[in-house]
A and B are shown apart, each in its own frame.
Chain A
Amino acid sequence: MEPARTGIGRQASPSSSGGREPTNLGDILERVLDRGVIIAGDIRVNLLDIELLTIKLRLIIASVDTAREMGIDWWEHDPWLSGKDRGLEEENRRLRDRVAELEEGGYPRSRHDDREIEEGRSGRRAVEGETEGRSGRRVVEGRVEEGRPRRRTAEGESEGRSRRRAVRGEVEREEDDRGR
């Protein structure tokens, strides 16, 4: 489980004193993300619908029951998370075909197409715009990868990786297209 070692628990103090421990980030995240009343705001953000980095965070924090209540159980079908390879090969092949088709195909590659690829079957987030994350971390696939190289390598999931690489290739090219 190396990849999600995001340092969430890093502020937990040694509890040898046996007393109350100072508030650590894990306890806070657990509360603000998984407890407290849910009210639909005008900005529709389903906390259980955030992709990539927080996937594992969410699985760690959000109770599985909560997610199921909300009808979200896709991780059970996501090979990356479930460790099941079933369907991955097929998905990989399909995506490769699609990429090839787009690269060679007669029609211009539109943003929509990128999105379709990017989202794939597991609804992976479309890469929109080039928002700079704080600390200058650009939160698009290519750069995120840089920040957390362990994630995929540790999973040792070559199929998935090659699929993502294909997708990433598209993303990077898209950035180039936009004259970066």
Chain B
Amino acid sequence: MAADPGAGTYLYAVAAEETAGREDALPRGGAGRESPLPRGVAGGEVRAIGRAGLVAYVSTVPLDQFGEEPLRRSMEDLDWLEETARAHHRVVEAVARETAVVPVRLVTVYSGDAQVGALLEERYDDFARALARVAGRQEWGVKVYAAPGEEPDEPEERRGRPAEAAARERIAGEEAPEAGARERAAGEEAPEPGKTPERPGTAYLKRRQRQIRGREEAWRRAGARAEDIHGALSSIAVASRRHRAQDPQLSGRPESMVLNGAYLVDRERGEEFARTVERLRGQGGDVQLTGPWAPYSFAVLDDEDGGPRGGDLR
């Protein structure tokens, strides 16, 4: 394709040609044939560039939106960002439904198709390895929230740091199975019988102390529950990651998230995984299952520094 100076080639994902090689699954963007893939970012038609046994899914984007400087502005525009992110995601998911896929980070743009072809050749080994890891597998997301009353006492302070890290710190102590009972008791104000009433200030401080202690135990309990759930799910998954707990603004939920896990699960064990999540509900706190996703959390090229990112690989 002749390089248009005003246009770039936007890369969504890379798949293997063997599995994507079917005529209907490999849209070339030719006229007259309906592409099985949804429209891409900026409404562009998604096409495939095959090279070296790999297929890159791309679309042409105007550089007045996707050039270096315009992107700096565009990315500030949440409406634009949302639309672009959703379009990117739609394409990735559509490809993932057909074949093993390695999703590429948002707004990865090349000056032309030739450069994408060169990328496939140069990085063949890396892509092939990454594809082998995710082939036949799907990513599931599981989020666990603290139950009401399990929130840490100073949410403002903790906001912005991973709740699960905080939870882990607190897990260091011993288990407190009776914490629930104590926590409930902590709210009570009745003075213990047979004692002279304390001065109001002292009583308040003691009550406050009990409250805080109760909350800390409850928070620790929520963290322990998250660990249990993560452990149970990881045993079904071939790989798992704990991502940073989502901020309430991102999750849209007021409760603290104590687990934001991603699990790479063999396709045939997907139902088992979902059933396990179902079983793990009802221990307090909400457990949310999302997916199956394209393997966003497990698509890693070997030379990415630090290797697996964003969480511990177990």
Contacts and interface: CB of A to CB of B under 8 A. Distances in A.
B249 interface: yes
A154 interface: no
B115 interface: yes
B310 A61 contact: no
Of the candidates B107, B159, B248, B304, the one having the most CB atoms from chain A within 10 angstroms of its own CB is B107
B110 A41 contact: yes
B170 interface: no
A135 B79 CA distance: 8
Given A9-B251, A37-B104, 14 more contacts: A1-B159, A1-B247, A6-B78, A6-B249, A12-B253, A34-B310, A41-B110, A43-B8, A45-B75, A50-B72, A60-B250, A69-B305, A69-B309, A133-B77
Interface string A6-29: 111111100100111101111111
B72 A4 contact: no
B106 A51 contact: no
Interface stretch (B21-29, B179-187, B209-217, B291-299): B291-299
Interface of B: 8, 11, 63-64, 66-83, 85-86, 88-89, 92, 102-111, 115, 119, 123, 130, 141, 159-162, 243-244, 246-253, 281, 286-291, 293, 296-297, 299-301, 304-306, 309-311
Nearest to A49: B72
A39 B80 contact: no
Contacts of B119: 39
A45 B68 contact: yes
Contact of B11 (A32, A39, A63): A39
A56 to B, nearest CB: 8
B289 A20 contact: yes
A41 B109 contact: yes
A66 B310 contact: yes
Nearest to B141: A27
A140 B100 CA distance: 41
A35 B76 contact: no
18 contacts: A19-B289, A23-B89, A26-B250, A27-B290, A28-B86, A30-B246, A31-B103, A32-B106, A36-B296, A41-B109, A43-B67, A44-B68, A45-B107, A63-B243, A125-B72, A134-B77, A135-B79, A139-B76
Interface string A61-103: 1011110010000000000000000000000000000000000
A47 B107 contact: yes
A33 B85 contact: yes
Given A33-B105, A39-B104, A60-B250, A53 B89 contact: no
A144 B79 CA distance: 13
Given A4-B249, A9-B249, A63-B310, A51 B110 contact: no
A28 B76 contact: no
B85 A25 contact: yes
A32 B289 contact: no
Contacts of B301: 37-39
B106 to A, nearest CB: 4
Interface of A: 1, 4-12, 15, 18-21, 23-39, 41-45, 47, 49-54, 57, 59-61, 63-66, 69, 125, 128-129, 131, 133-135, 137, 139, 144
Nearest to B88: A32
Nearest to A20: B289
B80 A134 contact: yes
Contact of B115 (A20, A23, A42, A53): A42
A24 B77 CA distance: 18
Contacts of B81: 29, 54, 57
> Which 6 A-B residue pairs are closest in the complex by CB-CB distance?
A9-B252, A12-B252, A43-B109, A36-B103, A35-B296, A26-B250
Contacts of A129: 69
Contacts of A43: 8, 63, 66-68, 71, 107, 109-111
A50 B252 CA distance: 23
Contacts of A66: 309-310
Contact of B290 (A7, A21, A49, A128): A21
A39 B85 contact: no
Contacts of A1: 159, 247, 249
Given A31-B296, A37-B102, A61 B77 contact: no
B105 A37 contact: yes
B109 A42 contact: yes
Contacts of A51: 72, 76
